[in-house]
Amino acid sequence: MPQADTPAMSNATLKELSAQLAAKACSSVELAQDFINKINILNKDLGCYVTVDAARTLAQAQAADARRAAGNAGTLTGVPLAHKDIFCAKGWLTTCGSKMLANFVAPYDAHVVERCDAAGMVTLGKTNMDEFAMGSSNETSFFGAVRNPWNRERVPGGSSGGSAAAVAARLAPAATGTDTGGSIRQPAALTGICGLKPTYGLVSRYGMIAFASSLDQAGPMARTAEDLGLLLNVMAGHDARDSTSLERLAEDYNRDLAKPLKGLRVGLPKEFFAAGLSADVQKAIEAAIAEYKKLGATVVDISLPNMGLSVAVYYVLAPAEASSNLSRFDGVRYGHRAAEYTDLLDMYKRSRGEGFGAEVKRRILIGTYVLSHGYYDAYYIRAQKLRRLIAQDFVDAFRHCDVIMGPTSPTTAFKIGEKSSDPVQMYLSDIYTIAVNLAGLPGISIPCGFDGDGLPVGLQIIGNYFDEARMLNVAHQYQLATDWHQRAPAVSQG
C-alpha cells in the first residue's frame, strides 16, 4: 500500500487520489492518516497549519469510506483538503490569524465548507494566514510566519500563505484560499503551485470572515490546473445568504481542458513588463509565452493604461471596507475582550487595541481616515471613480485578446523580515494582481520556472468574466507540455 509519507501518495493529484479511492487502492481513513502523520513531522517547522484535529479528520474520513461503500460517492468523496482559517467550520477553531479570534470556535459552516463537506471531502485542518487576510507574506499572523517549503528563510507569500505552503510541501493535495488583492495567486506563485481567483460572485462569501467585501473572493489552490477545476466545481454555486452571490447555472469548469490552443489570442500588457519586474521573473514569463506560441497561440500587445493606479486605489477602497467590516469586533458578542477597562468606550478601545495586530490597525486607521468627514470625496469617491477606469481598461483589452498573461508577482519569494518594516514595499508586491480584483475578473497563477536561487516563478493568466473554463484549458494545455507544476521542494520528499 503506498503511503502519503512516501512520494507516490503525497505527490498524487486530486484526480489521482479520486481514482485510487474509486479503485479501492486505499481508503479515505488511510489517506487521511498518512497526511496527518506527515503534518505531524513537518508542520512544526513550516507552520502551514494553525489547527489540526486528527479525531475530527478521521471521523470525516470514516464517513466518506462508508458513503463510498454504500455506493454514494462523488468524484472527491474521501479526498482530503485544507481550509484557510478564514472560513468558519462548525466546531473548529476559526482564528483568521488573529489574537482577536484566537479562541473563536465557529458556530456554523461557511458555504464553501458546507459544499466541500457535502461532496464528502475530508478536512485536514485550518491553515495559517496573514491576520484578517491583510498581508502579502503571511508574517502578520498572530500565530507566526509560515516558511516557504522551497527555502525556509523565505516567505510563502500571503495572505493564503499557509494553504500555499501546505500544498507545496505535500501536506495537503489541495486547499481553499481567498483573494482580495492577490492572496491566492501571489502565494501560489511564490510556492510553485496553482491558484485560481474566480470571477467575483461565483463563490459565496457566507461564513468567510470579511475583509473588503466588494473584492473578497474564495478559490481553489492545488498542484494542477485540472485539480483547480475539480475543486472549483465543488466550491462555486449560488447561495442566497450572500447578497452578491450570482445566480448562474452550474457548469463543469473542466469541460474544455482538452481543446487545442490554436488561434488563442494572448494579450501582453506593456505595463506588466515595465520597471520593477525582476529579470529572472521576466525571463521565465517570456519562456512561457514562447511555449504558448509553440502551442498555437498568437500574441497581441495591449495596454492597461490605468493599472499603475491600482495599488493606490486598492489601499483606499480595501481599508475603507475593512474599517467597516472589522467594526463588528467589539469584545461583546465574540472575540477578545480586554481584562481591564473603565467604561464601555474604554472596553471597546482596549479590546480592539489588544486584539488586532499592527497591520490590521494600520489599515483600519487608513480606512477610517479616508471615510471621515472632509476626506470622503477626495479619497473614497475618487478611488471608486478610478476603479471604473481600471475595470474599463480590461473591457477594452478583451476586445483584442482572449486571455491576458504576465507575471503574478514582480519578484520570487522574498526573505522573512525583508519587507515587514515598510508597508509600501509590501503593498507593491501585489502590483500585478490587484487590478484584477478591482475589476472583479478571474485570474490564475501557475508555475512556469525558477529564478537563479531555485525559487518558483508564477505565470498569471487573466480571463474575461466567467471565462474560468477557458483559462483552465489554457493552463492545462501548458501543463501537458511542461513539467514545472510537478517540481517538488526537497522538504516534501523526505
Instruction: State whether residue 59 is helix, strand or coil.
Output: helix
Under 8 Å between Cβ of 136 and 125: no
Contact of 109 with 228, CB cutoff 8 Å: no
Instruction: CB nearer to another protein: give 255 or 388.
Output: 388
CB of 410 to another protein, least distance (A): 15
User: Residue 37 or 244: which CB sits closer to another protein?
Assistant: 244
User: Min. distance of Cβ 90 from another protein in angstroms?
Assistant: 10
How many whole angstroms separate alpha carbon 286 and alpha carbon 283?
A: 5
Alpha-carbon distance 181 to 217, whole Å? Answer: 10
The CA-CA-CA angle for residues 318, 275, 424, to 5°, reads 35
- Residue 323 is a catalytic residue: no
Active site residue 420: no
141 is catalytic: no
Nearer to another protein, 226 or 359 (CB): 359
How many beta carbons lie within 10 A of that of residue 6, not counting itself? 13
Tell me how far, at minimum, the Cβ of 242 lies from another protein, in Å: 10
Give 283 or 362: the residue with its C-beta nearer to another protein: 362
- Other CB atoms within 10 A of residue 493 CB: 12
Query: Can you tell me the distance from the alpha carbon of 172 to that of 446, in angstroms, rounded to the nearest whole number?
Result: 17
Distance (Å, whole) CA 43 – CA 46: 5
| CB closer to another protein out of 377 and 483 | 377
What is the CA angle 150-281-173, rounded to 5?
40
Q: Provide the minimum distance between the beta carbon of 453 and another protein in the complex, in angstroms, as a whole number.
A: 28
Closest by CA to 136, choosing from 83, 190, 95, 84, is 190
| Minimum separation from the CB atom of position 326 to another protein (A) | 9
Half-sphere exposure of 260 (CA within 13 A, CB side): 6
Contact status, residue 210 vs residue 243, Cβ threshold 8 Å: no
The DSSP bridge pattern shows strands 49-51 and 80-84 to be: unpaired
CB closer to another protein, 256 vs 330:
330
Catalytic residue among 160, 183, 310, 323: 183
Query: 15, 18, 38, 84: which is the annotated catalytic residue?
Result: 84
Which is nearer to another protein, 99 or 283 (by Cβ)? 99
Closest approach, Cβ 214 to another protein, in A, equals 5
Q: How far apart are CB 136 and another protein at their closest, in Å? A: 14
**What's the grid cell of residue 220?**
481553489
Phi and psi torsions of 411, nearest 5°: -135, 170
Q: Which of 18, 27, 141, 159 is catalytic?
A: 159
By the 8 A CB rule, do 345 and 351 touch? no
**Amino acid, single-letter form, for residue 8:** A
Active site residues: 84, 159, 183
